């Protein structure tokens, strides 16, 4: 089969420099992350792309109109960094913007789309995150994403196109047709529970707009940051989540089919962070090849629960169901699943055999219903198999 066609088949997995490091990036950091991807098991778990976000270039293009990397941050040059990452069997991503400037004020790709795509290809770039700042008001964002998509698809290299317009301008209605492989559907995540919760709730009625070759990107993961960003907006020392909140965040992104782009400093990740990010059962659900969006079930009795208590169900390729019981509220809840809500009538004679994807253990066989008690800001994720 033509391998071009498979870019973006599954949600991208990788690491992005922005959440923790913002402007403070350099080639040694990126090399260290690549080393850790291999030595700490991220690569084996499926994480692949290492992406430099904003603030990598000089403030001006050169006399030929080319983007120029910052020689202090990247003294060996971008090509050498790409080679280093490729030698480890990983892929390399960079960042630009639809507008005249990036959000941090560096040159954007407006009216340089085809030239920049060419340069990225020459450098060995495999992924482009394409932001939405400084877009001339008279231009349609839709058209500008189509432009860069066309440029990338014809630059001579397979480059995954990651659109980042924060869910503006009804992006759901046109992004798949533009050629982008993933699209940001939300404003920037922050390293706190309120942000995770509000991004999630904003996407619950959009689950039909994700899927293979154009995934709904709910923004980078904040798992393991514990308030450790150098940027006040994303985290600073007042941010940070508890381990359960990070676990729930990861489960939501997995169940909802979001790309999994790590945003913490993996050089200092603790064991809990690694256990969350490397959970093979959750990753399998996220990467399921049919790439179906999850549907939501509101638990009974409905008068008892607010919108922040719900189940998500994802139909998997092999016939199993991934079921997440999410309690985003501040009190413990029993969340009751009636199997008829999954399309399974009692009269069928089938039961569900449930496997707990966090505890890695069988929970047993259930008929008609399953009603776990889920602590506040926590979740249970099971893989359900139909058995007689
Ligand atoms: C924002 C984007 C962030 C990050 C930042 C860089 O617009 O949503 O993820 O890329 O710009 O300036």
What distance in Å separates the CA atoms of residue 77 and residue 96, rounded to the nearest whole number? 17
CATH at residue 336: 2.60.40.1180
Residues annotated as catalytic are 131, 188
Judge whether residue 232 has pLDDT over 90. no
- Based on the domain organization, do 208 and 345 belong to the same domain? no
What distance in Å separates the CA atoms of residue 364 and residue 386, rounded to the nearest whole number? 12
Is the beta carbon of 97 within 6 A of some atom in ligand 1?
no
- Based on the domain organization, do 221 and 350 belong to the same domain? no
What distance in Å separates the CA atoms of residue 282 and residue 247, rounded to the nearest whole number? 11
What counts of helices (H) and strands (E) characterise the chain? Answer: 11, 18
Is the beta carbon of 113 within 6 A of some atom in ligand 1?
no
Report, as an integer, the average pLDDT of 260-289: 98
Q: pLDDT-based confidence at 300, cuts 50/70/90?
A: confident
Q: pLDDT-based confidence at 136, cuts 50/70/90?
A: very high
- Based on the domain organization, do 219 and 326 belong to the same domain? no
- Based on the domain organization, do 217 and 300 belong to the same domain? no
pLDDT for res 3 = 56
Helix, strand, coil proportions of the chain in percent (round to 5)?
A: 30, 20, 45
53 CA distance to ligand 1 middle (Å): 8
pLDDT for res 239 = 78
Residue 249 near residue 220, CB atoms below 8 Å: no
End of a domain among 286, 321, 338? Answer: 286
Q: pLDDT-based confidence at 238, cuts 50/70/90?
A: low
- Based on the domain organization, do 128 and 76 belong to the same domain? yes
- Based on the domain organization, do 74 and 194 belong to the same domain? yes
End of a domain among 286, 317, 351? Answer: 286
Residues 160-176 pLDDT 10s: 999 999 999 999 999 99
- Based on the domain organization, do 258 and 314 belong to the same domain? no
- Find the domain containing 363 and state its range: 295-387
- Based on the domain organization, do 327 and 268 belong to the same domain? no
pLDDT for res 343 = 97
End of a domain among 256, 286, 316? Answer: 286
pLDDT for res 233 = 65
- Based on the domain organization, do 46 and 96 belong to the same domain? yes
Residue whose CA lies nearest to ligand 1 atom number 3: 188
Ordered DSSP codes for 254-323? HHTT--EEE-S-GGG--HHHHHHHT-HHHHHHHT-TT-PPPEEEPPBSGGG--TTEEEEEEE-TTS-EEE
In angstroms and rounded to an integer, the radius of gyration of the C-alpha atoms of the chain is: 21
- Based on the domain organization, do 40 and 176 belong to the same domain? yes
- Based on the domain organization, do 223 and 304 belong to the same domain? no
CA nearest to 207, candidates 165, 172, 164, 182: 172
Residue of 51, 103, 128, 199 to mutate, ligand 1, most atoms within 8 A of C-beta: 103
CA nearest to 148, candidates 186, 121, 170, 188: 121
Query: Backbone dihedral region of 77: left (phi > 0), alpha (psi from -120 to 50 degrees) or beta?
Result: left
Q: Go through the chain and tell me how many residues it has.
A: 388
Residue whose CA lies nearest to ligand 1 atom number 9: 188
pTM across the whole model: 0.97
103 CA distance to ligand 1 middle (Å): 6
Is the beta carbon of 128 within 6 A of some atom in ligand 1?
no
What distance in Å separates the CA atoms of residue 110 and residue 357, rounded to the nearest whole number? 45
- Based on the domain organization, do 214 and 359 belong to the same domain? no
Q: How far apart, in Å, are the Cα atoms of 133 and each of 106, 165, 166, 185, 230? A: 11, 8, 10, 15, 21
Residue 169 near residue 188, CB atoms below 8 Å: no
CATH at residue 121: 3.20.20.70
Judge whether residue 187 has pLDDT over 60. yes
101 CA distance to ligand 1 middle (Å): 12
Structural domain count, the chain: 2
| 131 CA closest ligand 1 atom index | 7
- Cis check: omega of the bond before 301, within 30 degrees of 0: yes
């Amino acid at each position: 089969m033509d391998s071009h066609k498979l870019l973006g088949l599954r949600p991208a997995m990788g690491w992005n420099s922005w959440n923790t490091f913002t402007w403070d990036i350099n080639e040694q950091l990126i090399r260290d992350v690549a080393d850790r991807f291999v030595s700490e098991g991220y690569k084996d778990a499926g994480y692949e792309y290492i992406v430099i976000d904003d603030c990598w270039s000089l403030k001006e293009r050169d006399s030929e109109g080319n983007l120029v990397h910052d020689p202090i941050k990247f003294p060996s040059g971008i090509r050498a960094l790409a080679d280093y990452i490729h030698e480890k069997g990983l892929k390399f991503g960079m960042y630009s913007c639809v507008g005249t400037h990036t959000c941090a004020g560096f040159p954007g790709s407006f009216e340089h789309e085809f030239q920049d795509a060419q340069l990225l290809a020459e450098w060995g770039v495999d992924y482009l995150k394409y932001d939405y700042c400084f877009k001339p008001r008279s231009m349609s964002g839709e058209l500008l994403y189509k432009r860069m998509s066309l440029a990338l698809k014809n630059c001579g290299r397979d480059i995954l196109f990651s659109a980042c317009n924060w869910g503006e301008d009804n992006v759901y209605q046109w992004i798949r047709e533009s050629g982008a492989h993933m699209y940001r559907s939300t404003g920037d995540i922050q390293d706190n529970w309120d942000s995770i919760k509000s991004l999630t709730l904003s996407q619950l009625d959009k689950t039909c707009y994700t899927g293979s070759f154009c995934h709904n990107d709910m923004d980078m993961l904040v798992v393991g940051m514990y308030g450790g960003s150098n940027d006040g907006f994303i985290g600073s020392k007042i941010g940070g989540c508890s381990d359960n909140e990070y676990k729930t965040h990861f489960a939501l992104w997995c169940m909802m089919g979001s790309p999994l782009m790590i945003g913490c400093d993996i050089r200092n990740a603790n064991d809990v962070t690694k256990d969350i990010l490397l959970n093979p059962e959750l990753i399998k659900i996220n990467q399921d090849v049919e790439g179906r969006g999850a549907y939501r079930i509101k638990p009974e009795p409905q008068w008892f629960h607010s919108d922040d208590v719900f189940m998500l169900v994802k139909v998997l390729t092999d016939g199993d169901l991934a079921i997440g019981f999410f309690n985003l509220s501040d009190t413990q809840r029993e969340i009751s699943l009636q199997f008829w809500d999954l399309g399974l009538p009692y009269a069928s004679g089938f039961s569900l055999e449930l496997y707990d994807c966090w505890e890695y253990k069988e929970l047993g066989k259930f008929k008609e219903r399953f009603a776990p008690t889920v602590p506040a800001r926590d979740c249970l994720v099971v893989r359900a198999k139909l058995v007689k």
